[in-house]
Structure 1
Amino acid sequence: MRTLTYFVACSLDGFIGDPKGDASSMFQFLDEEYVGYLAAEYPETLNTEGRRMFGIADAPNKHFDTVIQGRGSYRLGLDAGLASPYGHLREIVASRTLKTSPHPNVEIVSDDLVTRVRALKAEEGPLGIWLCGGATVAGELIDEVDELVIKSYPQVYGSGMPMFGGAAFAVTDFALRDARTFGNGVVIRWYGRNR
């Protein structure tokens, strides 16, 4: 059984973006130490252009072979001219408004995302599934998330787009597995779901 990992950046108070979803204030923390770590340990989470820029275009995927994202997250790539922003992964976009895929590598799922994710998790293979965002997709898949990798940036938003948007209140316990701090104040925490 493969795992679904929500690998996400957020503010100290748990927001992945401002009320409109903009997280560009976090870009200031993309320094050499931190980006070097991500490129070495999670190369598949850098988009195709980022991988080229860092000279790791052909680096093997270490953790994930599939990415799931919502239309809003996917729109960022489209707006930058990247119809397949993570071409080194199988790309799945959850959208009720985007009916046809703009690229052969991108699968659009317009209904029953949970069933699609369960089928992905049941596949054989050594690599997992990366839930990239956004908030609504994460809220829909909250019961399917096996691991959290939270990249906490040293900022407080006060309000904005929550990590799990639209999810009903329910306490779900996760166990801290590891943590790493960086000189820029970013902390990455790894959690596994308590089953």
Structure 2
Amino acid sequence: MRTLTYFVATTVDGFIGAPDGDGDFFYGSLDPEFVGYLAEEYPETIAAAGRAHLGLSEAPPKRFDAVLMGRRTYEPGLKEGMTSPYGHVREQYVVSRSLTASPDPQVRLISGDLVARVRELKARDGLGIWLCGGADLATQLIDEIDEFVVKTYPFFAGTGMPMSRAGFGVRPLELTGFRAFGGGQTVGSYAVKR
């Protein structure tokens, strides 16, 4: 059975974007050691343009062969002409009620029962499923997430888009990995205790 992993960048105070959802400020804190780690351990999570720049064009998926993103996560790249940001993975899904046709044959739309669709995807053979974002999608899928990989950047935002809007509920996690980098970033991995 495949796992659903919420692999996400966040500020120290738990925000994945500005109040309008923009997360470009994270790119100002990319030291070589951290980028090298992401390229080595999570190469499939780097979008096509970044992969070319880092020499990863031919790097096969290591942990995830499917990516699931909300429309607002997908839209900024789409506006720049990037219709298939993760064409190097087997399956790309965009969850949207407003898009009626996919802008790219490699991108499939999900508009119906999201939880049922994710359970169906998890039952298939393959590598893991990467929940790319954003907060609303993580909220809808909070009980389907099997693992959190949280990339914490050395910023305090004060307000913004939270990791989730699931509301208060203590959900026990087990720390399965942790790494700190010289630029102040950390990566923590947590398995959901069921």
CA distance in 1, matches of 2:125, 2:158: 42
Residue 135 of structure 2 aligns with an amino acid whose one-letter code is A
Q: Which deviations, in whole Å up to 9, do the C-alpha atoms of 1:140-181 show, x marking residues without a partner? A: 00000000000001111111101013x243221111111100
TM-score normalised by length of structure 2: 0.97
Match in the other structure for 2:96: 95
Match in the other structure for 2:43: 43
Task: Give the 3-state SS of the residue equivalent to 1:67 in structure 2.
Answer: strand
CA positional deviation for 1:113: 0.9
CA distance in 2, matches of 1:168, 1:122: 28
CA distance in 2, matches of 1:168, 1:108: 27
Residue 95 of structure 2 aligns with an amino acid whose one-letter code is A
Deviates more, 1:49-58 or 1:180-189: 49-58
Match in the other structure for 1:177: 176
CA distance in 2, matches of 1:75, 1:179: 31
CA positional deviation for 1:32: 1.2
% identity of equivalent residues: 54
Q: Which deviations, in whole Å up to 9, do the C-alpha atoms of 1:63-112 show, x marking residues without a partner? A: 00000000011002102211001001211000111111000110111121
Segments of 5+ residues of structure 2 without an aligned counterpart are none
- 1:84-123 equivalence runs, <5 A: 84-89=84-89, 90-123=91-124
CA distance in 1, matches of 2:185, 2:59: 24
CA positional deviation for 1:20: 0.4
TM-score normalised by length of structure 1: 0.96
Q: Which deviations, in whole Å up to 9, do the C-alpha atoms of 1:12-43 show, x marking residues without a partner? A: 11110011011122111112111111111111
